Chains A and B, each alone.
Chain A
């Protein structure tokens, strides 16, 4: 028990223990079209801090900020995975549903890309019929259900003190998200890149868990 807690403390001393900064470069983000935002009219006021500028009416996201925030998010994800936390992937776009579910399967975590029942986080005992362990981290590939409404999980996770990592586009509200990642959430290339990075971070964390904590 002492050995385990000591190992956990050791990992926190290093700013990037799992070397997640090696997983991507700004050029990778650019090639995956992460910088492409929506039109100026749909800009959420809280996202204007992340916007680099606009071109022909379409907003460009500042990839330097994105890179830094993405590194923080990946580091956090790796730490959660290292400590054996339950990670839940969410997203409500049909185009990327299967990809998100496959990503979760491949790294041994959980996915919920279907209709969100109200009491999943806030009323889990009644919802699942027994006492359930809630996710320790929620990773959202899309924070919006459609153009107008935000995914209930973002608000409910904040209520239940569950940290969230979310990809926020220019029309999303990043307020309730613990680790926002400003970036394009509509292109297949960018969603593919995010899934690849999240999976890599989780697997790194789990690898270290097996190696150091022997669990």
Chain B
């Protein structure tokens, strides 16, 4: 098995070596890791002598060379993709899968199985990716044989980026004209015509750079976002939604993903919910009973289980916040040392249980108040050479 694998990898590895990348090779116990390389070094090695005589001036010779380089790169990519496909089919056969339906995920799983790696860094482990992901995507030739650039804003250095800004300006002007027209006709809409930015956020600088295939600087990005925000503020910006959404990505809120458990009912029909929470080394399980009268029971004791007012307030706070103070009963069981941490654990458990009792709006308010977040703070360890976690031994000048 290993010999067959080695043979296959060596075969597919030889051609790829010329372009400064090596697929995973197993040869007498040595593992070579795939490296990402810039395609510029590879393409520069493929500059060929211009065979056709120059038409006029030395410009066309370099233009022709540039075009030939672009063509060579395209040819190279076609070869790489063909090799990748052959490799993929071999891998599928090796794993006993159908080559037709062997996806990239299957390839990743197969490589992980065949060549297990204990390396920490994911990009250092062996992998087999599609050539378009390995070789950086470059812009196609930006001018024709006579040297005239294709894009109007070529000389700015960032044509695609400034094209987007140009379109932004035109959009702003058209929205202004529309607003004036609406004002003249005295048309007022009841619902807001402004773009709703909920659930989406601006793409990052890296994502925009990838989109435009131009390395943007921070000042470019900042100016772009400022300008786009001004567009969003316009009362009729929903008319430009298509343009705006090109530069925004959908962000799912974690809250909507998590399912809030439905209320449970006792034999008598009393609604209740259980929640569990932790704080430092204290663990609490709390059952909140609806249709109650505000009774609080902690480890079969009253609220006086806690002597400090602060701890009592911590227990009561979630009920106060959701206005359910005298309306629900609380039964808590807490283990683990420490009174203050027990109070914190009960607070978290209560809040999690109360989620089922309240509506979405209140749930969001609870989340923002920090009631639903576990307090992860624990005692920091003592370090050698120091008196405590942070405290140092007495410093002596001499």
Contact = CB atoms under 8 A, between A and B. Distances in A.
Q: Which 3 A-B pairs have the closest CB atoms?
A: A133-B147, A131-B62, A98-B169
B62 A104 contact: no
Given A84-B146, A131-B62, A133-B147, A101 B152 contact: yes
Contacts of A131: 59, 62-63, 66
B143 interface: yes
B170 A98 contact: yes
A32 B157 CA distance: 34
B156 A112 contact: yes
Given A84-B146, A97-B169, A98-B169, A111 B157 contact: no
B155 A98 contact: no
Contacts of B95: none
A60 B169 CA distance: 33
Contact of B143 (A97, A111, A127, A133): A133
B154 interface: yes
A128 interface: yes
A97 B154 CA distance: 16
A120 B156 CA distance: 8
A88 interface: yes
Contacts of B143: 132-133
Interface of B: 59, 62-63, 66, 143, 146-149, 152-158, 162, 166, 169-170, 173
A98 B153 CA distance: 12
A163 interface: no
Main secondary structure of the interface of B (DSSP, over half): helix
13 contacts: A98-B169, A101-B166, A109-B152, A110-B153, A110-B155, A111-B153, A114-B153, A130-B62, A131-B62, A131-B63, A131-B66, A132-B149, A133-B63
A113 to B, nearest CB: 8
Contact of A120 (B66, B147, B155, B173): B155
Interface of A: 84, 86, 88, 97-98, 101, 104-105, 109-112, 114, 117, 120, 127-128, 130-133, 135
A105 B167 CA distance: 13
B169 A120 contact: no
A53 to B, nearest CB: 38
Contact of A114 (B59, B149, B152, B156): B156
Contacts of B166: 98, 101
Nearest to B56: A1
Contacts of A135: 155
A72 to B, nearest CB: 25
Contact of A133 (B148, B153, B158, B169): B148
Nearest to A104: B152
A110 B154 contact: yes
Given A111-B153, A131-B62, 14 more contacts: A84-B146, A86-B148, A101-B152, A101-B166, A110-B154, A112-B153, A112-B155, A120-B157, A127-B157, A128-B157, A130-B62, A131-B63, A132-B143, A133-B63
A137 to B, nearest CB: 13
Nearest to B163: A101
Contacts of A132: 143, 147, 149
A166 to B, nearest CB: 17
Contacts of A110: 149, 152-155
Nearest to A119: B157
Which of B62, B157, B158 has the most chain A CB within a 10 Å cutoff? B157
Nearest to B58: A131
Contacts of B152: 101, 104-105, 109-111
